[in-house]
Chain A
Amino acid sequence: MNGTDDLIGRLSAQAGAEAGRSPGSFTRAFLFSSLLSLAIALVLSGAGFGLRDTLPKLFGYEPFLLKIAGALLLACGAFLLARRAALPGRGEASWLLLLPGILPFVWHAFVDPSASSARSGDDAVNCTIEIVLLSVPALLLCLRILKSAAPTRPTLAGALAGLLAGSIGTAAHALACYNDDGVQVAIWYGMGLATATALGALIGRKTLRW
């Protein structure tokens, strides 16, 4: 018990040392690192795989917009869930936050099941691989920032970091990807997202403990 009193003495000597940090500052840092991750993924996608040649015209092209919207909305949902998972005592955020990101993919798959797969030059499996590769830097950044907070369920927080990183990778990949078939996108993008999520859970389980 004496040892505990000593410890308390040492800890209380550091009073005020963390006054500059708060959940608010964590959220800002997390947001910043997510945007940075997105920028890195975009650069890698352009440099590594080459952006779609007709990119400027695509901003009125529905299959393309659905992919981008889905990926970015999914990233927003994963961001909010991961943020909550890193702050103790706040309860879990609702999983419905992921719905806006899932809907565009589902809609795309139903409305446009085989639109222009003919012009798809990609081997569809590459979508999964490229999404996972593009999400790696984002995953490392997100895990690092989550570690600075206090995730009370490391596996869950890691999985959400993986989903966020996967969504970022997906958004970047969509700029380079010629695959516009709704069903194929749902399958291969979905597998990329699932892989990134599993990877995040696996790493987070070990590294997010404190």
Chain B
Amino acid sequence: MDAREQSWAEAMRAERRGDRAAYERLLKEIAELLRRLVRSRLAQFGLRADEAEDLVQEILIGLHTKRHTWDPDRPFMPWLFAVTRYKFVDAARRMRREAARRFELTIDELADVMAAPQEDPDRGLDLDRHLAALPQGQRNVVRSIAIDGDSVKDTARKLDTSEGAVRVTFHRALQRLRALAAGDSGKGGAK
């Protein structure tokens, strides 16, 4: 603690003399300390790892822009602690606000969820995503046959086309979906 206090206070004094290397070393050491500090509080803050690094950077910028408020004749650690603590409190307040906005639930969403049949939510998402990749004509056919469960005949009547055309379109759509699924698992591994 005392060794660190001394070497960091000395580096801060060196910064005032324009010693760039000493200052860079100091900031790196402080960043490492902050990183450990922030990570130990990740869960408490509900932060992702990249957001944690953002917070580290925010604290670094704060102590850089306010470094003139440290008195070179006084210990450095209490100053660093006060600045860090302030940035933590400030970030926590901001995140509470953002979280409140992010998780805002509308009555319509609730109604939609209640009205929808219960199924595996992830499957639904995948299905939508894949369907969206199909051309309009193929999508209509697949939706009609595979999701609404209509027969080929009904589908043809609904889409105002022939049964043969529906069969061909459906076949092409399936091929395409199979290709998409293969590409997906090729890229993203399992799923």
- Identify the A interface with B (CB < 8 A): 1, 3-5, 7-9, 11-16, 18-19, 21-26, 86-90, 149-150, 152-153, 209-210
Chain B neighbourhood of A153, CB < 8 A: 86
Contact assessment for A23 and B17 in the assembled complex, using a CB-CB cutoff below 8 Å: no
The one of A7, A21, A87 that contacts B60, using a Cβ cutoff of 8 Å:
A7
Contacts of A89 in B (CB 8 A): 70, 74-75, 77-83
State the majority secondary structure of interface residues on A: loop
Given contacts A8-B27, A209-B90, whether A19 and B17 have CB atoms under 8 Å apart is: yes
Interface: B45 (CB within 8 A): no
Contacts of B71 in A (CB 8 A): 22-24, 87
Instruction: Report B-chain residues with C-beta under 8 Å of the C-beta of A18.
Output: 16, 67-68
9 A-B pairs with the lowest CB-CB distances in the bound complex, closest first: A16-B18, A88-B82, A89-B79, A89-B78, A12-B24, A21-B68, A150-B66, A89-B82, A152-B86
Question: A8 CA to B60 CA in the complex, in Å?
Answer: 8
Of the A-B pairs whose beta carbons lie under 8 Å apart in the complex, a sample of 30, sorted by A's number, is A1-B53, A3-B53, A4-B56, A5-B28, A8-B24, A8-B27, A8-B31, A9-B24, A12-B20, A15-B22, A16-B16, A18-B16, A19-B18, A23-B68, A25-B68, A26-B68, A88-B78, A88-B83, A89-B74, A89-B78, A89-B80, A89-B82, A89-B83, A149-B66, A150-B66, A150-B69, A150-B83, A150-B86, A152-B83, A210-B66
Q: A86-B69, A88-B79 are in contact. Are A16 and B60 (CB under 8 A)?
A: no
Question: What is the chain B residue whose CB lies nearest that of A26?
Answer: B69
What is B's interface to A at a CB cutoff of 8 Å?
15-24, 27-28, 31, 35, 53, 56-57, 60-62, 64-72, 74-75, 77-83, 85-86, 90
| Chain A residues closer than 8 Å to B77, beta-carbon distance | 89
Most A-side CB within 10 Å, residue of B21, B35, B66: B66
Whether A11 lies near B61 (C-beta < 8 A) is yes
User: Quick check: A152 and B68 within 8 Å, CB to CB?
Assistant: no
Distance, CA A89 to CA B75, complexed state (A): 9
Bound CA span A149–B69, Å = 6
Let me know if B90 and A12 touch, CB within 8 A: no
> Distance (Å) between the CB of B81 and the closest chain A CB?
6
- Among A11, A23, A152, point to the contact of B85 (Cβ < 8 A): A152
In the bound complex, residues from chain A placing their C-beta under 8 Å from that of B56 are: 4
Complex CA gap A149/B65 in Å reads 10
Picked from A15, A23, A26, A149, the residue with its CB within 8 Å of the CB of B18 is A15
- Give the distance in Å from the alpha carbon of A209 to the alpha carbon of B82 in the complex: 14
Q: How far is the CB of B1 from chain A (nearest CB, A)?
A: 15
Q: How far is the CA of A13 from the CA of B80 in the complex (A)?
A: 20
Q: Which residue of A lies closest to B71 (CB)?
A: A23
Residue in B closest to A1 when the chains form the complex, CB atoms = B53
* Bound-state Cα–Cα, A3 to B31, Å: 12
Q: How far is the CA of A88 from the CA of B88 in the complex (A)?
A: 14
A residues near B21, Cβ cutoff 8 Å: 12
Residue of A nearest to B80 (CB): A89
Are B20 and A13 in touch, CB under 8 angstroms? yes
